[in-house]
Structure 1
Amino acid sequence: MKRELNLLDATLLVAGSMIGSGIFIVSADITRHSGSAGWLIAVWLIGGFMTLIAALSYGELSAMYPKAGGQYVYLKEAYNPLTAFLYGWSLFAVIQTGTIAAVGVSFSKFLAYLVPQVSEDLVLFSVGSFHVSPAQVLAIGIIFFLTWANTKGVKGGKVIQAIFTLTKLLSIIGLIIFGFIYFKPQVWNVNWTQAWDLQRITKDGSLLSYEGLPAIGGALASALVGAIMSYEAWNNVTFVAGEITNPRKNIGLSLLFGTLLVTLIYVLLNIMFTAVLPLHEIATAEKDRVGIGASHAIFGSEGTVIIALLIMVATFGCNNGLILAGARVYYSMAKDGLFFRRTAKLNRHSVPAVALWAQFLMASLLCLSGKYGDLLDMITFIAVLFYVLTIGGVFILRVRQPAAERPYKAVGYPILPAVYILLGLSFCILLIIYKPGFTWPGLIITLIGVPLYYLQKKPLKL
């Protein structure tokens, strides 16, 4: 692999892979569960704090093992090949490919504001009871184009990433600035009068109080699902460690800079939402599209077009980062004899083209499934579970390999990594109790990897 990604490229990959359409949508669900402006912002801060702690901990692991595959490699070194395979399998089965599918369909959904013919509500063709919409076909087309572009070398992928990430960052910053210019004092005062009253907002706008600590914990965990999902993919830069210059230094720095930048943008954007939209309008936005409501409040009827274009840019750049990074994990798995043998080969552009196309096929199947929304619900639980395991690996390797070279050490060790493990486990336990629909399907998908691991003890010939 060619080391053609510098610190700026790596930072843009972190930020670009994180910012998709979620930030413009999930605040509605968070508001319904939290019922107040203060808790809305607190949830985004908690999600950002957790992500930042995890990123700082991963910095130590990335400096120790600056290899393609990132988190897969860390789990293999700290635990065993089975644990690493379960992560790689989950990534291929749902985490990475499900996110790629969902982000691709989100692009189509917002393009439909400008071109109604690509709406997900239309049927392009049917086979019995199976229906395919223009949005799904377009999503597959976008994923195909970005996959093809990334088979031409990492340099082309990083150019696409830089252009679209910088464009969406500047656009979101511009939206935040315009939002505060059109600041509505009456809306702000009403939203922040009882900023810390934790309660549920129902679909009809009525308020319900939470009784007892378990109910409050469940509400916060449910609210955090959307926020953590929007912060997801921050770790993708570790997958491309084999293509980053000075990886022992630049991966850790890119994780720090990228997660800090995205956290700041997410918090400011949500503060802006509370300055232009009444809280009940955030909670009851049509199809949860808070970004469209805010843009309409700021720019008038043209706001729908502006936000649609912004989200299209955001999702296009997000998917490029996901596609670029994910294939490196399957490549590393194949090098260990745990994935299709041909995915362990690089093409003449020094990229794992077969792994890229395998990822494309899986993401396309998930696009056609129509279950991408459900998949995203599972992703959050599985991803946090593996983040907890990986950060636990920092402790394990400190004991097992005390003399190993650590050019960068986890900030705040052992307190901050332990805080993340505690918060992450609490989040997962509360989801198991209060949102079993999020957890059991994800666990089942992950555990299917156990028999698959033993079937793949030898490299698959395909």
Structure 2
Amino acid sequence: MDEGSIRKRRESQNGSTGHNVDCQTKDQQPAKATVLQKDVGLLSATCLIVGTMIGSGIFISPKSVLLYSGAVGPCLIIWAACGVLATLGALCYTELGTMITKSGAEYSYLMEAFGPPLAYIYSWTCVMVLKPSSFAIISLSFAEYASTPFYPGCSPPVLVTKCLSAAAILLIVTVNCLSVKLANYVQNFFTAAKLLIIVIIVVAGMVMLAQGRTENLSKAFEGTSSSVGAIGLAFYNGLWAYDGWNQLNYITEELKNPYRNLPLAIIIGIPLVSVCYVLVNVAYFTVMTPTELLLSPAVAVTFGDRVLHPLSWIVPVFVVFSTFGSANGSCFTAGRLAYVSGRQGHMVKILSYISLKRYTPAPALIFNGILSILYIIPADINTLINYFSFAQWAFYGLTALGLIVMRFTKKELHRPVKIPIVIPVIMVLVSCYLVLAPIIDKPDLAYLYCAAFIFSGFLFYYPFVHLKVNWARNIMRPITIQLQLLMEVVPPEKTE
């Protein structure tokens, strides 16, 4: 049975072919086209941004940002500056997302601005490394916080953490494969939970300030780092906490009224997160010295133990909710990137198929989940963060450069939102700094391995994508058919 047979079976079941459409009774619903449905409204869009940004970062990155910045003052400045950078980047993506209303974010924009080779390199890097490693990082954070209460006074065993992380990945992938609406409900619920714990921490911190706990803020700039590379690494870890500001652009095709809801969700979500992050860090420093914060195994949990006792147990519970919701958002968008690149022919064809019953990109979601589980086996969170940020910010810079290029090469494109060109210029310059500064200050073979992996994509692009060699198609065709039958998926229908 091939994909045509599956389509015919679906059509006969739904009565959606030929004259049968005209003969439908009132209680029958017309069959949906086999494409991703526009099920994401403004609330879900905002929750996707906020829920993906507020995840593990604000509960992990404070230590790394403080370590590399050297003092409380520059640490808070870096957190605020990261919020400004995220906002500037999101403004660039607002123009791009309303100008090019395709899912896939950077992939679609690089395709339009620079052509298939660079878009392929992006999809190759993200689908194979960046997206699954991000999913793995967040799930590991979830597992650490979820298991910490069961091991008081010591760190949870690595095996327990990684098994729990793998279980979380399997659960999240299952939810996203079952239903887009179910995934949105999960995202909305956990976003509300994480905002609640943020409010609790901020209010507790304000109370402590009102009581005169300002010792750590009075000498805020003592010990400030003067290393350019160290400041770059501080920004890496701060921006990791902000990562997710571009996630909505991965699902543009599933947004209701994208011209309105895309910019509106960004305008609401990112400033909200920026304010929360700065206030949460201020709250941390009201009860912990810089040394104590650096030594804390879980910053938010330590804060809760000192301020909210005997209700301190609510902090790890809500942090678990927060990281789980962020992992759900990461999975949701990562599947769409693999789906779009597969549809374009830059990944194996099966990744672009859609579930007949669920209307979800199940193969792409499952593939991302499998890679994520593989990444948690040897993973160290801090190493993965640095690796992720180095490559990701190179592509952020190229995307901002693409926006500048298209101002001159694609003047005919309709731009419902048009930002000042100085904003993408700033993003390009900042991206260059974030990519080059740590390498120049402290060269490391990890950066070379990252660059080598990125460019190795051309070894696959030329024969399999550019030349489209027949033997590769002959090998993949029976595999694709078997996977298609197993998962009951079909290629997306072309719509006007």
Question: Aligned to 1:46, which of 65, 81, 86?
Answer: 81
> Where does residue 427 of structure 2 map in the other structure?
420
> Where does residue 102 of structure 1 map in the other structure?
137
> Where does residue 274 of structure 1 map in the other structure?
285
**Residue 101 of structure 2 corresponds to residue 66 of structure 1:** yes
> Where does residue 88 of structure 1 map in the other structure?
123
Question: Aligned to 1:306, which of 304, 307, 314?
Answer: 314
> Where does residue 452 of structure 1 map in the other structure?
460
Question: Aligned to 1:285, which of 280, 295, 315?
Answer: 295
Distance in structure 1 (CA, Å) of the matches to 2:263 and 2:288: 38
Cα pair 1:16 1:165 within 8 Å, conserved:
yes
What is the TM-score of this pair, normalised by structure 2? 0.83
Distance in structure 2 (CA, Å) of the matches to 1:365 and 1:121: 20
Distance in structure 2 (CA, Å) of the matches to 1:233 and 1:93: 18
Q: After the TM superposition, which of the residue ranges 272-281 and 96-105 deviates more from structure 2?
A: 272-281
Cα pair 1:14 1:234 within 8 Å, conserved:
yes
CA offsets, 1:327-386, max 9 Å, x none? 111111111111111111111221110001111110111112234542221101111111
> Where does residue 78 of structure 1 map in the other structure?
113
Cα pair 2:162 2:376 within 8 Å, conserved:
yes
CA offsets, 1:144-174, max 9 Å, x none? 1111111122111100000001111122112
Q: After the TM superposition, which of the residue ranges 31-40 and 13-22 deviates more from structure 2?
A: 31-40
Distance in structure 2 (CA, Å) of the matches to 1:138 and 1:109: 9
Distance in structure 1 (CA, Å) of the matches to 2:126 and 2:339: 13
Cα pair 2:197 2:319 within 8 Å, conserved:
no
**Residue 180 of structure 2 corresponds to residue 154 of structure 1:** yes
CA RMSD of aligned residues (A): 2.0
Question: Aligned to 2:449, which of 441, 445, 452?
Answer: 441
Superposed, which structure 2 residues align to 1:207-222 within 5 Å?
A: 210=226, 215=227, 217-222=228-233
Instruction: Give the secondary-structure state (helix, strand or coil) at the position aligned to 1:67.
Output: coil
Which of structures 1 and 2 has the bigger CA Rg? 2
Letter in 2 for 1:421: V
Q: How many residues align?
A: 432
> Where does residue 329 of structure 1 map in the other structure?
337
Distance in structure 2 (CA, Å) of the matches to 1:86 and 1:255: 27
> Where does residue 129 of structure 1 map in the other structure?
none
> Where does residue 26 of structure 2 map in the other structure?
none
Give structure 2 stretches of 5+ with no counterpart.
1-35, 481-496
- Displacement of 1:95 in angstroms is 1.4
Distance in structure 1 (CA, Å) of the matches to 2:200 and 2:416: 38
> Where does residue 382 of structure 1 map in the other structure?
391
CA offsets, 1:193-232, max 9 Å, x none? 33234525xxxxxxxxx4xxxx3x2231121111011111
- Structure 1 306/455 Cα, relative in aligned 2: closer, same or farther at 3 Å? farther
- Displacement of 1:120 in angstroms is 7.4
What is the TM-score of this pair, normalised by structure 1? 0.89
Letter in 2 for 1:387: Y
CA offsets, 1:216-265, max 9 Å, x none? x2231121111011111221111111110011222222222221111111
Letter in 1 for 2:219: Q
- Structure 1 372/270 Cα, relative in aligned 2: closer, same or farther at 3 Å? closer
CA offsets, 1:263-316, max 9 Å, x none? 11111111111222223322x3233x222222222123652x222112100110
Give structure 1 stretches of 5+ with no counterpart.
124-132, 201-209
Percent of pairs identical after alignment? 26
Cα pair 1:184 1:275 within 8 Å, conserved:
no
Cα pair 1:379 1:442 within 8 Å, conserved:
no
